[in-house]
Structure 1
Amino acid sequence: MTASTTTPVTGLIADNVIGFARALRAAGIPVGPGAVIDALKALRLIEIGSRADVFTTLEAIFVKRHEHALIFAQAFDLFFRAAEDWKHMLDSVPLPEHAKKKPPPASRRVQEALSQPRTSEVPQAQEQDLKLSVSDKEVLQKKDFAQMSAAEIAEVTRAIAEMKLPQAELRTRRYQPDPRGLRLDMRRTLRGSLRTGGDIIDIHRLGRIDKPAPIVALLDISGSMSEYTRLFLHFLHAITDARKRVSVFLFGTRLTNVTRALRARDPDEALASCSSTVEDWAGGTRIATSLHTFNKLWGRRVLGQGAIVLLISDGLEREADAKLAFEMDRLHRSCRRLIWLNPLLRYGGFEAKAQGIKMMLPHVDEFRPVHNLSSIQGLIEALSSVPPPHHRSLIRSAA
């Protein structure tokens, strides 16, 4: 079946393209009305019966960023495979090579976007927005990350993006031109005086350079933390996207540096890259061994210039001995501030009874819960103001 260059694309094909564009917007790809019109015009020039040609044409129009290609491929396969009219047009047409691969990391997001009911009634849409803005937001503030769906994760991600992410700045030893600085810039002052023969001298000053404090995250990915690992990675991805000086390490039975993998713009692609890099996901826990590897191989590289360390773990160590206390003390002495984020603090009656927790607790500056939006908001406020080194303020309240 071939479309004419003069016959406009109408009917079921046009409806499918419009519906497909709506699904892409729901999945996170910005598709405007102009792109839909361009797609309908482009479909006149290709062979409609070729699924590969249609895929390539729509991808060239709708996909503007590299990170959106995975979402588009998954959405294209799910949307047009479910359309009965498309099945009749593409009967016995082989799938392209990309469709035979493993579903991309955005498959869950795309499936929920396609499963949303379509309605054109304005009052219902307004009622849904009203519920989301009042009651749903209140629920999300206190809801555990482990109990959230993909739609709720998207809402949490947008809420984190709207928060004031940590921007605490540390004063370095370097100087830069500053009219309000307290140090005299002798070189620039004398150079400026040469232009006037020394008659008029403009005093130039220098001020200290302030840089954002580096953040180093050590995330426990053992089996006991599996319900929270994915959401913590979403939070770390949001921080990495807003800041440049962020290093992320995952540990279970071994330590893995996923800083580069987490810098992908799309969160699903970043998390998929992290999971493919790590070999001990949802396995055992060897905190002492992992901390020893970090202190030996990475401590000098990433803990300079007043770094803040976020240790995200439940502290349930398999081999809790003096080695764990030694490595925690070494980590504490190497950084400016060590914050332990423990999801077990969500329980009001939490007590440090495990041997590993007892050994780790004396070597941290803050002990915080991090299992919902309220606790993350408290963490962001704490990171936005950097206290003096080794400031002791153990926070045990479960938000």
Structure 2
Amino acid sequence: MPTADPGVRVSVDPRLVARTRDHLAAFLRALHDAGLSVPATKQRDFHAGIEAVAPSTTGQLYWVGVATIVTSESGHPVFDEVFRRFFGSPEDAVLVVDEPAEAPEEQDGDDDEEEQGSAPAGDEVEDLLVTETSGSGLRAGLGSPELPKRFGRTSASAHAVMREIAAELPRAVPRARSRRHRPGRRRHRVDLRAVYLESRRTQGEIVRLRWRHRPTQPRRVLVLIDVSGSMKQHSPDHLRFAHTVLATCSGAEVFTFGTRLTRVTAALRHRDVDEALDSLAPLVLDADGGTLIGESLTELLADPHVVTMARGALVLVLSDGLERGDCTAMVGAVGRLSRLAHQLTWWSPLACDPAYRPLTRGMAAVVGDLDALAGVRDLETALAQVRSSFSHAPAHHPRRRNHD
């Protein structure tokens, strides 16, 4: 079989490249229409995987798509069906080598022991996972480890702090007046219907006035937690705080973000905090990875349901604000979130240092849109901020805004 000369440049028809690009774009749109979420980050990873692998068979293209797009078991059937529609059946997807290796007829006992000892034990596998996800956690990155994140057990002292937070939250969360009037003693509006019905029992005489008022109710709470590598030391306690918020505040929502946005409200509603954190392992696959704050917040605000929930709510962002690359998307998303929310509070572990100033490009650009910027690195500092009703700010004082 003749082989191509490596010194000869192969020309590619630009029309073929354009058709291929259009076909891949149609494939991604079909996945979205079929119910499989393919945000911009996944699309970028998919194209980067194609460039890196340069698949020459349908099976290779199939595994590139699975590795970059499918993040849950429920997504596999949807992906498989759409893939067959666009590229056919990936019959070579299961092939590893051209020919299977011939099994030896006889094996000595020593070989058996050596073969058994070559496979890592359970503890060793866990050590390998820890090695893959380890790092200093001091810089923002761009990659995503795509490995399940395991959180440690909650200590007895942490449980005690969580109980204190739960007791303080009802008083700390801002309140808003209800749109409906209810009977009460506050003299806000005369309850004409109640006065009329009572006067019928006294031959038309008005003996006592009845009143209606608009009672207050807690505002909704939206918690956004940064789980990137630079926050790996703090995200477990931040998730425990979010678990307490969901158990205390009705209608609260929690999202995590690193290189992608993940809604974790349902998983964190489990009564036991440790089981709730364990259930996040198959969901939050970008933990301890890179940081794409702007893209994650932009994706959040693209959901009309989230926009409706954020309007007039307390929005709490737990992040160090170390955005990677261009900060334009982050500035625009934070500005819009600030206009929607009743109060936008940013908790950063870096702000625990009294000498901290928001001098990074991202934080310097968005600090004017925040109602408060405070230092929170664990449950104890979170309790201190809750006791100050989310309003304490460090040395600098961001512009305050009045909301209805």
What's the TM-score once normalised by structure 2's chain length? 0.56
Residue deviations 1:239-271, cap 9 Å, x none? 221221311111111111111111110001111
Instruction: Name the SS for the 1:203 alignment partner.
Output: coil
Partner of 2:201: 195
* TM superposition shift of 1:374: 4.4
C-alpha spacing 1:362/1:379, structure 2 compared with 1 (3 Å):
same
Query: 5 Å matches for 1:283-294?
Result: 283-294=289-300
Identity %: 31
Q: Secondary structure at the match of 1:170?
A: strand
Distance 1:221 1:311, change over 3 A: same
SS of structure 1 residue aligned to 2:216: strand
The count of residues paired between Structure 1 and Structure 2 equals 243
How far has the Cα of 1:350 moved from its partner?
A: 2.6
Does the aligned pair in 1 maintain the 2:338–2:369 contact within 8 Å?
Answer: yes
Letter in 2 for 1:195: R
Q: CA RMSD in A?
A: 2.5
Which residue of 1 is the match for residue 182 of structure 2? 176
**2: distance between equivalents of 1:320 and 1:154?**
42
Q: Distance in 2 between matches of 1:235 and 1:365?
A: 20
> Counting helix residues as a fraction of each chain, which structure ranks higher?
1
| Partners of 1:278 and 1:369 in 2: CA distance | 24
Aligned to 1:28: none
Corresponding position of 1:296: 302
Matched, 1:156 2:155: no
- Which structure would you say has the larger RCO, counting Cα contacts within 8 Å and 6 or more residues apart? 2
**Aligned position for 1:375:** 381
- 2:282 is paired with a residue of what secondary structure? helix
Provide the secondary structure at the position in 2 that maps to 1:362: helix
Q: 1:1-399 maps to which residues of 2 (within 5 A)?
A: 150=153, 153-163=155-165, 164-167=167-170, 168=173, 169-297=175-303, 298-304=305-311, 306-383=312-389, 394-396=393-395
The residue matched to 1:161 in structure 2 has which SS?
helix
Deviation at 1:396, TM superposition (A): 4.3
Once the two structures are superposed, residues 255-294 of structure 1 have per-residue CA deviations (whole angstroms, 9 ceiling, x without a partner) of 1111111111000111122232223222111111111111
Over 3 Å counting, the alpha-carbon distance change for 1:264 and 1:374 in structure 2 is closer
Pick closer, same or farther for the CA change 1:289–1:373 going to 2, 3 Å.
closer
For 2:321, the aligned partner's letter is: G
Relative distance call for 1:396 and 1:373 in structure 2 (3 A) is farther
CA 1:252–1:307: 2 relative to 1, 3 Å: same
Separation (CA, whole Å) in 2 of partners of 1:170 and 1:301:
16
Q: Which moved more, 1:271-280 or 1:252-261?
A: 271-280
Q: Cα distance, 1:149 vs. partner?
A: 7.7
Partner Cα separation in structure 2 for residue 245 and residue 382 of structure 1: 22
User: What is the letter of the counterpart of residue 286 of structure 1?
Assistant: L
- Any idea what SS the aligned residue of 2:351 has? helix
DSSP 3-state at the match of 1:318: coil
Contact 1:367-1:394 at 8 Å conserved across structures:
yes
Given that 2:223 and 2:254 are in contact with CA atoms closer than 8 Å, whether structure 1 keeps it comes out as yes
Take 1:179 and 1:346, find their aligned partners in 2: how far apart are those partners? 45
SS at match of 2:205: coil
Query: Residue type matched to 1:158 in 2?
Result: A
State the shift of 1:375 in Å.
2.1
Letter in 1 for 2:251: R
**2-side partners of 1:286 and 1:343: how far apart?**
18
In structure 2, give the amino acid aligned to 1:156: A
Amino acid at match of 2:210: H
* Offset of residue 301 of structure 1: 2.9
CA deviations on 1:153-197 (whole Å, 9 max, x unpaired) are 321221231343222432222210002232101112112222232
Deviations 1:30-79 (A, max 9, x none): xxxxxxxxxxxxxxxxxxxxxxxxxxxxxxxxxxxxxxxxxxxxxxxxxx
Retained in 2: the 8 A contact 1:275–1:281? no
Q: 8 Å contact 1:310–1:341 — kept in the other structure?
A: yes
Q: Is the 8 A contact 2:318 2:348 kept in 1?
A: yes
Return the offset for 1:232. 0.7
> Are 1:222 and 1:282, in contact at CA under 8 Å, matched by a contact in 2?
yes
Contact (CA 8 Å) 1:368, 1:396: kept in 2 or not? no
Unaligned residue ranges in structure 1 (runs of 5+): 1-101, 104-147, 388-392
Evaluate the alpha carbon distance shift between residue 285 and residue 263 of structure 1 in structure 2; reply closer, same or farther with a 3 A threshold. same
Take 1:174 and 1:252, find their aligned partners in 2: how far apart are those partners?
A: 40
Gaps in structure 2 of 5+ consecutive residues: 1-121, 124-150, 397-404
Cα distance between partner residues in 1 of 2:395 and 2:158: 24
Aligned mates of 1:165, 1:180 — CA distance in 2: 26
TM-score (norm 1): 0.56
